Amino acid sequence: MKKSKQERQEELKMKIDQTPFITDEQLAKSFGVSIQTIRLDRMELGIPELRERIKSVATQEWNDTVKALPVEEIIGEVVDLELDDRAISILDIRPEHVFSRNHIARGHHLFAQANSLAVALINDDVALTARSTIHFSRPVKLGERVIAKATVKGEDEKGRTLVNVHSYVDNEEVFAGSFEMYRSNQ
């Protein structure tokens, strides 16, 4: 049975409150309506698009937490962060990230997402990448969403923090990096 616009909008608001990182496409499928209908409903309810919701949550939650660099300088949108433990960011590949002739993401954007996440993870005022080893598993294309997951693995003999970052598109690994991070309190 088809829901009234008011019922749909009430359920939409609740669903977004419960799952703030849900996409318009996922919402449209869930409610059995067009993406345009979801966008119009969001606009009427004053609910921003996904990118703005992510940015808002990240800025509020981590602006005072991240020490090594401002949150707005992290490449991608931070969706989870536990200093000196783990972090997750999302990067949607847009036209400015790809080569125009083949629509494949430039590698430095994937590296920047992983590296800036490794820096943000360090609980120190100064965190610099001393060394990194990286591997690209497959090309990333325009329109794909890259989820980077960083994990602190411990310290090396020089006292540098070791961070592993794995990036995925639809649960397929596309990038892996190991970062040795210098911190000022070594």
Question: What are the tens digits of pLDDT across the range 99-144?
Answer: 999 999 999 999 999 999 999 888 888 889 999 999 999 999 999 9
Q: What are the residue ranges spanned by the domains of the chain?
A: 5-47, 61-183
Half-sphere exposure for 1 (CA within 13 Å, toward CB): 3
What is the spatial distance between Cα 29 and Cα 81, in angstroms, rounded to a whole number? Answer: 30
Predicted model pTM = 0.67
Matching CATH number, 5-47, of 1.10.10.10, 3.30.1330.60, 1.10.3720.10, 3.40.630.10: 1.10.10.10
What is the spatial distance between Cα 39 and Cα 33, in angstroms, rounded to a whole number? Answer: 11
Fold of the 61-183 domain? Thiol Ester Dehydrase; Chain A (3.10.129)
Please report, as a single letter, which amino acid is at residue 179.
F
pLDDT tens string 155-170: 998 889 999 999 999 9
